[in-house]
Amino acid sequence: MRIDLRYGEGTLPVEIPHRYDAESVVPKTIQGLSDISDEMNRSVEYALNSSPLSQLMTQARTAAVVVNSEHDITLNRSLLKVLLGILRTSMTTPSDIILLFSPKLGSTPNQSKIDNMLGHPTADGHILVLHDPEDDENLCYVGDTSTYSTPVSINRAFAEADIRIGLGTIRQNVYVGATGGRISVIPHISGYKTIVRNSKLQATCQVGPFGINSATCVDMDEISQIAGLDFIINAVPDRTDSIADIVVGEPHSAWSHGVDIARTLSETPILHKSDIAIVSAGGMSFDNTLYDAIDSLHAAREVTEYGGTIVLVAECAEGPGPSGFLRGVSECQSESEIAVFAETSYELGMEKARFLWNVLSSRKLIICSRLRESMVVEHFHSLAVRDPQEGLEMAIEQMVSRPRVAVIPQGNWTLPVIKNR
């Protein structure tokens, strides 16, 4: 069996010899909606637990639309194009519609590049605001969450708009259960202190895909309510980006409905666990850093036996990731130790360091990347290779009998579930 695995902007091949019991673990695909425009125009008028968008807009002079992240930028751009057409029928001038986008933390914001990514909305007169969570002058404090006392500061342009809309996609996520819904507020238009306080819960409390009642998720729901998120438009895509549904309406109700659909698209039946898993993080932008790629280890852990070996295929052209991630792995020696450490010394990135330690406590890890071998060995307590075939051969050498091998081409979107025959 030969499979080409995404790696940065390209692919790397791995071939499993016929003498081994091998399977490819891939979520199902669907036909998908044939016309996004028709579905959105229909959905906004039959919104879940909400008045129709056209009715809401009759009471609004200005609208703020938060576009979630670059990961699904092609889908988001398509959704945004239709939404702007709908909003323009109600707005007096194009500048009454403000688009908010949050560049990746630590990156250099580029207004022209992001305008291009979003389909040049400024050419039609709309306002594009690049959210900076550390720009205190453009933040306003709106309250504290009741459960975890997180101070909530949000982008001023969002806070001052008459109607606030979140636009994005819903997919599984190890740390916040699922994307979409409330992530339009946290982290995408929240202040840095709000982001850090919420992210700390990911490092100190239990998390997992579709774990929507975790401490982090409870806090996120309260943050989005305090911030005043009014309405969401979220597409639910399969692994090939075919859209199963577009959920529209009151944020929590619509998002919860979308999460149920996303779960059915992610769950992937397996008959048994394997000794070796080869998993791709999904290529650029999911493997820009090791921090980005770590999420895919959840699927690999679930598909392997205790004591098994995981080969992670991730280019990591931009290095290991934030300092908190590197510090959490380097200065701690276990999942429990980093959970305690994060209580008093939390930095962004430690939540993923904790998850990496969880994997390392029960699985051997081989990393196929561009990271220096010394860094992989000394800091990430793993073995380093330059191609997945070498990683497979190294993993096989560690086995005392003929191993079962699982290949997971898209670790981020895969949730393995053992099913009876």
Q: Do domains 2-26+268-418 and 36-237 have the same CATH topology?
A: no
Residues 6 or more apart whose Cβ sits within 8 Å of residue 415: 27, 172, 209, 210, 263, 266, 267, 268, 299, 302
> What is the pLDDT, as a whole number, of residue 239?
92
Q: Average pLDDT for residues 98-124, to the nearest whole number?
A: 90
> What is the pLDDT, as a whole number, of residue 116?
95
When the pLDDT of each residue in the chain is averaged and rounded to a whole number, the result is 95
pLDDT tens digit sequence for 228-277: 999 999 999 999 999 999 999 999 999 999 999 999 999 999 989 999 99
- pLDDT band for position 285 (cuts 50, 70, 90): confident
Tokens of 339: 């959970």
- pLDDT band for position 2 (cuts 50, 70, 90): very high
pLDDT tens digit sequence for 154-169: 999 999 999 999 999 9
Is residue 44 a contact partner of residue 52, using CB atoms and an 8 Å limit?
yes
What is the amino acid identity at position 167?
L
- pLDDT band for position 43 (cuts 50, 70, 90): very high
Tokens of 142: 């709106």
- pLDDT band for position 420 (cuts 50, 70, 90): low
DSSP β-bridge partners for residue 10: 7
CA distance 125 to 96: 9
Is residue 151 a contact partner of residue 45, using CB atoms and an 8 Å limit?
no
Whole-number Cα distances in Å, 115 to 40, 73, 259? 22, 12, 29
> What is the pLDDT, as a whole number, of residue 92?
79
Please say if the pLDDT value at position 8 is more than 60.
Answer: yes
- pLDDT band for position 59 (cuts 50, 70, 90): confident
Q: Which residue has the tokens 């996520």?
A: 173
Q: Average pLDDT for residues 107-113, to the nearest whole number?
A: 85
Burial track 37-46 (b if 16+ CB lie within 10 A, e otherwise): eebbeebbee
* Phi/psi of residue 264, nearest 5 degrees: -65, -30
DSSP β-bridge partners for residue 347: none
Burial class of 187 by CB neighbour count within 10 A (0 to 12, 13 to 18, 19+): buried
* Phi/psi of residue 28, nearest 5 degrees: -70, 160
Whole-number Cα distances in Å, 414 to 208, 296, 297, 339? 13, 8, 10, 26
CA distance 368 to 351: 22
> What is the pLDDT, as a whole number, of residue 71?
82
The CATH classification number of 36-237 equals: 3.40.50.11440
Please say if the pLDDT value at position 171 is more than 80.
Answer: yes
Q: Average pLDDT for residues 324-346, to the nearest whole number?
A: 94
- In CATH, which superfamily holds the domain spanning 2-26+268-418? LarA, C-terminal domain (3.90.226.30)
High-pLDDT (> 90) share of the chain, %:
92
Please say if the pLDDT value at position 421 is more than 60.
Answer: no
pLDDT tens digit sequence for 62-96: 999 999 977 889 999 999 999 999 999 888 799 99
Tokens of 353: 């360091």
Please say if the pLDDT value at position 310 is more than 80.
Answer: yes
| Upstream peptide bond of 285 is cis (omega within 30 degrees of 0) | yes
Whole-number Cα distances in Å, 49 to 57, 178, 287? 16, 20, 38
Whole-number Cα distances in Å, 330 to 320, 356, 379? 12, 11, 5
User: Is the Cα dihedral 128, 134, 135, 140 positive or negative?
Assistant: positive
Phi-psi region of 106 (alpha: psi -120 to 50; beta: other; left: phi over 0): left
Alpha-helical runs (H) found in 134-250: 156-160, 192-204, 215-227
The structural domains of the chain, with segments of one domain joined by +, span 2-26+268-418, 36-237
